[in-house]
Amino acid sequence: MKALSFHQPRAEQIILGQKTVDLRSWQTAYRGPLAIHAAATRRDDRCRDLGFTPETLAYGAVIGRVELVEIRLLDAETYVALQPQHRSEAPFPGAPCYGWVFANPERLPEPLPVMGRRRLFEAPIGESTERQESEPAKKPASGQRPASGTGYQAFSAPQPDPTRPFALYTLANEDGSYRVALYQWVNVGQVPQSAATPQAPGALWSVELGGDVLRAVMDHLLAALRANDYKATDLARAVGSEMPFYLGEPSGLRLALILMAVKPLARHDRIEAIGQGIQAMSAEEAYYWFSKCTAGADAVRAQKALRVLLAGE
């Protein structure tokens, strides 16, 4: 479905039916269903100014849909006349100024984590995503406590659970999208002397991924979250927070292998082949490749060998 991204609280106002006209300096020939995406970047002061509590809003996710029924070219007079619909306090910005007219707002049962883009973009919205299954809330792990409102928070120093040594963070980008960083944690003070300088306290290594490559492996990432009793919607709520998702070895290890192997790639067919190949590995094979791809001076060479094996690099 076509989607359009808005900073909060504008996205929430649209879904509430409070904002039925959006102002743009460009137009499109498209008319029809439009997914409303809430950008990952937070503007807490702006939310409070408009009467919203920032912590209760969704970020980095599609929160609902509307019908784009009309796009009108506005002049200064019609701009003022439509102020109750577009809700902008700024003076007429000058030509070209288009009013995108929305109707029939509907909220998704749960926010759907999606990386936003500029202008119109495609979002994976359909009947299957609108009927998201209800899952029990995740019991906070060691080092975690529930936040007031939505999402989770971590104490300033993460406390890794030996049974869930992988920590996944969602990091906000300036353009409203987000990237992920996956760490393998050990107890502070137990980092081997041979390990590379950690990028976070107690971390053996890390891998960071964003953009189109992250979108291409999102199914694998969400599967890892679900395997650890998180909900897919928790991903968007955690953007920019200190909260890590703690992952157990079987799922965390395979996700780590996928992120490491696909990071330098661009072709989606090769990315998909690698993801499917790693998921199909036996436990012994996955642990073997993980040990090769994360340790010592030959780690990068091992990652390339894994790409050759699974995608014919």
pTM: 0.49
Domain check: are 163 and 291 in the same one? yes
Domain check: are 156 and 122 in the same one? no
How many degrees, rounded to 5, is the angle at CA 206 between CA 203 and CA 212? 155
Domain check: are 155 and 299 in the same one? yes
Residue-level pLDDT at 266: 87
In a domain, 136, yes or no: no
List Cα–Cα distances, 171 to 22, 34, 111, in angstroms: 28, 26, 18
Domain check: are 276 and 184 in the same one? yes
In a domain, 133, yes or no: no
Considering 126, 155, 180, which residue would you say is the last residue of a domain? 126
Listed as ranges, residues in the chain with pLDDT below 50 are 127-157, 187-202
71-108 pLDDT, tens digit each: 999 999 999 999 989 988 889 988 889 999 999 999 98
Domain check: are 299 and 166 in the same one? yes
| Nearest C-alpha neighbor of 68 from the set 38, 31, 39 | 31
The total number of structural domains in the chain stands at: 2
Residue-level pLDDT at 241: 66
User: Distance between CA 223 and CA 244 in Å, rounded?
Assistant: 16
In a domain, 138, yes or no: no
Yes or no: say if 133 and 231 are a contact pair by the CB < 8 Å rule.
Answer: no
Domain check: are 100 and 65 in the same one? yes
In a domain, 260, yes or no: yes
In a domain, 227, yes or no: yes
Q: Can the peptide bond before residue 192 be classed as cis, meaning omega within 30 degrees of 0?
A: no
Q: Can the peptide bond before residue 96 be classed as cis, meaning omega within 30 degrees of 0?
A: yes
Residue-level pLDDT at 313: 58
What is the domain extent for residue 94?
Answer: 2-126
In a domain, 10, yes or no: yes
Domain check: are 98 and 180 in the same one? no
Residue-level pLDDT at 146: 29
In a domain, 141, yes or no: no
Domain check: are 300 and 161 in the same one? yes
Residue-level pLDDT at 278: 94
In a domain, 90, yes or no: yes
* CATH assignment at residue 92: 2.30.130.30
Q: Token pair of 136, please?
A: 């029990």
Domain check: are 111 and 165 in the same one? no
Considering 73, 91, 126, which residue would you say is the last residue of a domain? 126
Domain check: are 118 and 179 in the same one? no
Domain check: are 218 and 116 in the same one? no
Domain check: are 104 and 186 in the same one? no
